[in-house]
Amino acid sequence: MNRTGNTIFITGGGSGIGRGLAEALHKLGNKVIIAGRRRSHLNAVIAANPGMEAVELDITDPASVAQVAQKLIADYPALNVLINNAGIMQMDAVAGKIDDALLTSTISTNLLGPIRMTSALIEHLKSKDNAVVAYTSSVLAFVPLAVTGIYSSTKAAIHSYVLSQRFMLRNTGVRVIEIAPPWVRTELMNSQEAEQAMPLDQFIAEAMAMLGTDADEIVVDAARQFRSNVGPNEHPLVNGFNDQALAIFGAA
């Protein structure tokens, strides 16, 4: 994608990877609008980045998604890049009874939300030059973390959806990009201080460099072993990965 000259909307831009991408793209001179549910987080980001703007969004609420999409089209007619980044991650218990509230909120946030957001903006984006729809998935789309089985399944679903949407938009001017981070030091799973996780600034730097290329998938070096492990030979890596994860997170 072009890294400059854009008007960019980023969901989940109040913290973590969303904030990191927003600030990096803002520094390059793009017009950046961030969204999230926590107004205090949004205010902190825009205060630290003069010229950036923010809008409150409940990505789980179809009415909120529709309202924000209408506002974006009206207030920022040059909008040409959507980055679907909002997400939640909680430990679950796929070997037992699933908490229905956790199930519903995770699927609504991680899967239904980005699909609805893109759907609400896609016709507008088709009319713009250098248009991009990006989705933040995860390496867990390819190698699931068993103690967050629901989260992992939503990211696998997003990967599948990206493949379909990219194909269906192949003859338009809209590029579809998947950003698949490894474990990064963010608020997800309280990972800000996790030594095993990739530093956020390092991930943002590597991801931004790849965003400036023709890559359809943004997979940094630390994530490549997971992306490469697909097909009938995946089970030893999946099982070994989860044996190691249990030592870190414990059993759900």
**Positions marked catalytic:** 151
DSSP assignment letter at 216: S
Helix-strand-coil percent breakdown of the chain, rounded to 5? 50, 15, 35
Q: Is 50 left (phi over 0), alpha (psi -120 to 50) or beta?
A: beta
Helix (H) or strand (E) holding 224: helix 224-227
User: Rounded to an integer, what distance in angstroms lies between the CA atom of residue 93 and that of residue 251?
Assistant: 9
- CA 68 to the chain's CA centroid: 18
Contact call for residues 154 and 135 (beta carbons, < 8 A): no
- Tokens (6 digits) for 174: 């809209």
- Tokens (6 digits) for 238: 């999946």
Terminal Cα distance for the chain, rounded: 40
| Spatial CA neighbour of 49 closest among 30, 66, 26, 33 | 26
- Tokens (6 digits) for 102: 């956790």
100 Cβ contact list (under 8 Å, min separation 6): none
User: Rounded to an integer, what distance in angstroms lies between the CA atom of residue 178 and that of residue 159?
Assistant: 7
